[in-house]
Amino acid sequence: MTELNRLVLHDLHVSLDARMVPFAGYEMPVQYAAGVMAEHTHTREKAGLFDVSHMGQVILRGESYDAVARALEALVPVNIAGLDEGRQRYGFFTNDAGGILDDLMLANRGDHLFMVVNAACKADDIAHMRQALDGQGIEVQEITDRALLALQGPKAEAVLAALVPGVADMRFMDVAVIDHDGAELWISRSGYTGEDGFEISVSNDAAEGFAKALLADDRVLPIGLGARDSLRLEAGLCLYGHDIDTGTSPIEAGLGWAIQKVRRPGGARAGGYPGAEAIEQDMEERPARFRVGLRPEGRAPMREGVALFATEQGGDQIGSITSGGFGPTVGGPVAMGYVSAPFADPGTQIWGELRGKRRPVEVAKLPFTPANFKR
């Protein structure tokens, strides 16, 4: 068995009665004493602190930010060159078939680009970039001496501003580098819950003190992977390896909005990335399937792998669930999955096969809960 990596804040999690589980090669807190339901609700109502230090942090440097951005656009179908300094953008690496290798966040930090990638993909992502970019004078630097924390919820701004004045002026997808007690914080106003909040990269040696300072505020609770998953599912956000993967097109996944006009057919920098022809074809012709929200009837959740059908009995399978569980804010089961295009409109009734019996499921508009980002 492969030995699991430990987070810098492992001992702090244990002291907070976290239940630790294997996830993406790390020992991660799945829940604390409050439990998943309470952690989920607390994040929606106040503020939750997540340790996401398992994620990959990467810096790309070259002759200039523009040189880095132009080179990276050969791997990512996103307008990176047109991203303003101090701003961040969602994107994804694609393969030659138009599938998604990983989804990620990209930030213009003036003279370099800062990137956050998924934990399970980070080694492959870094190798992919080094192979493609090394010959162009672009240095790909993995950051291994910094923790990554996410403070999420409607009270996140007030909590963080009490420690780090100035963050209240940041808007959704702004990034900033701010000094706090001699430690340099790399802050973005973003997150993975649908709530307002921040992601904060902090040096390993300052991480515990900073985390404890946040947790000292009565409005903050530590939150584990369990609630992180239910929060992102209610927010309609994809989990890599489940809702999107190498066989998923960004268009059928509902992520076409992340491909800006300048990178689309007819745009000034259209194409030029892996799988561009297949993705552009999906833009012009309706894909055969789409990612949709799903509301199973009753109280029993339908989870990943549940087969979907057009009728209560007989007929061919029309799709499957890729993420599912109970939505505490919604007050019932929620799921996402892929269905054939004729069944993708909200309000369509289909059927999910659960333990040999088909149960009603309604196709629903995403997200299940409205986003509360500070625009």
Secondary structure in 3-state letters for 120-170: HHHHHHHHHHHHHHHHHCCEEEEECCEEEEEEECCCHHHHHHHHCCCHHHC
Euclidean distance between CA atoms 73 and 273, whole angstroms:
7
Buried b (16+ CB within 10 A) or exposed e, 330-350: eeebbbbbbbbeebbeeeeeb
pTM of the model: 0.97
Under a CB-based contact definition with an 8 Å cutoff, are residues 4 and 27 in contact?
yes
Q: What architecture (CATH level 2) is domain 288-368?
A: Beta Barrel (2.40)
Query: Is 70 exposed, middle or buried (CB count within 10 Å of its CB: 0-12, 13-18, 19+)?
Result: middle
Cα–Cα distances in angstroms (integers) from residue 24 to residues 27, 28, 108, in the given order: 8, 9, 27
Spans of all domains in the chain: 5-53+145-234, 288-368
Euclidean distance between CA atoms 228 and 6, whole angstroms:
19
Q: How far is CA 207 from the centre of its chain?
A: 22
Q: What is the pLDDT of residue 45?
A: 98
Euclidean distance between CA atoms 214 and 193, whole angstroms:
18
Q: Smallest Cα–Cα separation from 151: which of 140, 162, 139?
A: 162
CA angle 254, 258, 260 (to 5 degrees): 130
Q: What is the pLDDT of residue 134?
A: 87
Q: What is the pLDDT of residue 124?
A: 98
- Superfamily of chain region 5-53+145-234: Probable tRNA modification gtpase trme; domain 1 (3.30.1360.120)
Cα–Cα distances in angstroms (integers) from residue 192 to residues 15, 52, 62, 96, 225, in the given order: 25, 11, 30, 28, 11
Positions of the chain with pLDDT under 50: 1
